[in-house]
Copies of this chain bind each other. A is one copy, B any other.
Amino acid sequence: MPPATTRTTSEARLSRPQRVAEEIKDWVVEQGLRAGDRLPGEAALMARFGMAKGTIREAMRILEAQGLIRTRTGPGGGSFVHEVSRQRAKALLGNYFYFKNLTIGDIYQLRLALEPELAASVAPHIDPSVVDMLEEHAQIYAEPPTTMDEERLHHIASLKFHSLLAEQAANPLLGFVIDFMADLLSDITVYRRLYAPPNLTLWSSGRDHHARLLAALRAHDADEARAIMASHMRIAWSHMQGQEAEQMRRFISE
């Protein structure tokens, strides 16, 4: 694999562990290693790179922090190529937006564009058992919330509904972005609970849309599913107006 054009990495002024980490990544690609394959042990890497244990270990930590390897102790242990988990990817991306002061409107602009697309693309082939599962999940917020705390739980559960649906996406990119946005909104909700009054209109509209969406999915009606989801997003967005000032206040851990 030759260095590609987008590889603008001025590999010059990287620290040694960073260089080692990069070289190991390239080596993994060259060797065609796949998730689960074992990397050379610390001793072997020390020999190969002519560097001390600490340097190698720092390099492995870098790869581990990026979610690319897992390390186990004991015999047969070592470092193993690991498929970056969705959870980890969301956490790393969340760190980027920590500094970005996203508004609820920003997120809903994308939700309105993408969630209907997801609903439509999932509808034709969705398994009835998955619809059952979603229907069961929706029970969590079937009854109106009575306390503020319960309202928060309802809201987070209804966001979870969307992330469960996102898992059904055949398009990994679409599924990821929607799942990520659900996470963002959940986090914002957590920090909003003390100020915001319960919003029963939002709750009932959300519950009804989810129910109608499930019916459309069960009927494999893509157009109907798309339309319901679009309406759902538009209404939720309008109800969310006036709560724009919220922003991320912490880093996400995996």
| Residues of chain A at the chain B interface (Cβ within 8 Å) | 1, 4-7, 9, 15, 17-18, 21-22, 25-26, 28-29, 35, 54, 57-58, 61-68, 71, 83-84, 86, 88-89, 92-93, 95-102, 105-107, 109-110, 113-114, 117, 121, 156, 171-174, 176-177, 181, 183, 186-187, 190-191, 249-254
Residues of B near A156 (CB, < 8 A) are 5
- Least Cβ–Cβ distance between A246 and chain B, in angstroms: 14
Nearest CB to that of A115 among chain B residues? B113
Taking the full assembly, how many copies of this chain does it contain? 2
Residues of B near A92 (CB, < 8 A) are 66, 89, 92-93
The answer to whether A173 touches B106, judged by C-beta atoms less than 8 angstroms apart, is yes
- Classify the secondary structure of A's interface with B: helix
Q: Among B25, B99, B106, B121, which residue has its beta carbon within 8 angstroms of that of A35?
A: B99
Residues of B near A105 (CB, < 8 A) are 171
Nearest CB to that of A89 among chain B residues? B96
The answer to whether A96 touches B84, judged by C-beta atoms less than 8 angstroms apart, is yes
The answer to whether A176 touches B96, judged by C-beta atoms less than 8 angstroms apart, is yes
